[in-house]
């Protein structure tokens, strides 16, 4: 299951329903918005993982944070603390607000949903990405086992590895991403 599917299907679609209610979108629009935003966030995470110390930093965040709560309790997605956490994630993943604005504008062009709505949704989507990664990282793993595997391929308790989870999301976006790879390449090229 891809990262996007994990988010869309978590708690029987409760995150989609919560975001739809929160941002005034129907389920289909919310799914489209997440389908445009999640791969961009995953690409940012993937870019960071490839940098020196990036994988260890992500693993540390996943193991020490409370990110899993965002996919297991979607009711908290509307809280201001969720937005604050999401903005911090975006700051780390994208580096600055200009990249976030460009991602929202690109997603708006893909979906027809207003970029202002997508800009406000982006931090919440970032928390969902981290939540899904955290949840998958501990599926089937003993509570204190942590992560296993060689650098660049930290094994999840439920199988697979971090890089393949991110890559599967990026690969799915490649077919329908409308230039997502080129956009993200240009956004991250200067960092």
pLDDT tier for residue 66 given thresholds of 50, 70 and 90:
confident
To 5 degrees, how large is the angle CA 106–CA 110–CA 114?
75
Please state, in angstroms and rounded to a whole number, the distance separating the CA atoms of residues 121 and 180: 18
Please state, in angstroms and rounded to a whole number, the distance separating the CA atoms of residues 46 and 58: 10
Whether residue 20 contacts residue 98, with contact meaning beta carbons closer than 8 Å, is answered with no
SS3 content of the chain, % helix, strand, coil (to 5): 75, 0, 25
Q: What is the pLDDT of residue 47?
A: 85
Please state, in angstroms and rounded to a whole number, the distance separating the CA atoms of residues 186 and 175: 19
Whether residue 163 contacts residue 49, with contact meaning beta carbons closer than 8 Å, is answered with yes
Q: What is the pLDDT of residue 134?
A: 86
Domain extent, residue 31, equals 3-189
Domain count within the chain = 1
Global pTM reads: 0.78
Please state, in angstroms and rounded to a whole number, the distance separating the CA atoms of residues 131 and 97: 21
Mean local confidence (pLDDT), 136-160 = 42
Please state, in angstroms and rounded to a whole number, the distance separating the CA atoms of residues 191 and 123: 21
């Amino acid at each position: 299951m891809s990262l996007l599917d994990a988010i869309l299907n978590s708690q029987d679609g409760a995150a989609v329903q919560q975001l739809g209610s929160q941002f005034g979108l129907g389920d289909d629009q919310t799914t489209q918005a997440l389908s445009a935003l999640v791969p961009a966030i995953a690409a940012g995470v993937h870019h960071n993982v490839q940098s020196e110390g990036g994988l260890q930093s992500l693993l540390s965040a996943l193991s020490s944070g409370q990110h899993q709560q965002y996919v297991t309790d979607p009711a908290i997605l509307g809280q201001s603390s969720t937005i604050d956490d999401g903005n911090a994630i975006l700051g780390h993943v994208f580096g600055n607000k200009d990249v976030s604005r460009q991602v929202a504008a690109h997603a708006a062009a893909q979906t027809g949903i207003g970029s202002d709505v997508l800009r406000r949704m982006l931090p919440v989507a970032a928390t969902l990405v981290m939540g899904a990664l955290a949840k998958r990282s501990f599926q089937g793993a003993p509570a204190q086992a942590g992560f296993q595997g060689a650098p660049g391929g930290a094994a999840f308790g439920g199988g697979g590895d971090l890089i393949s989870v991110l890559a599967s999301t990026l690969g799915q976006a490649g077919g329908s991403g409308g230039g997502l790879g080129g956009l993200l390449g240009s956004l991250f090229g200067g960092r």
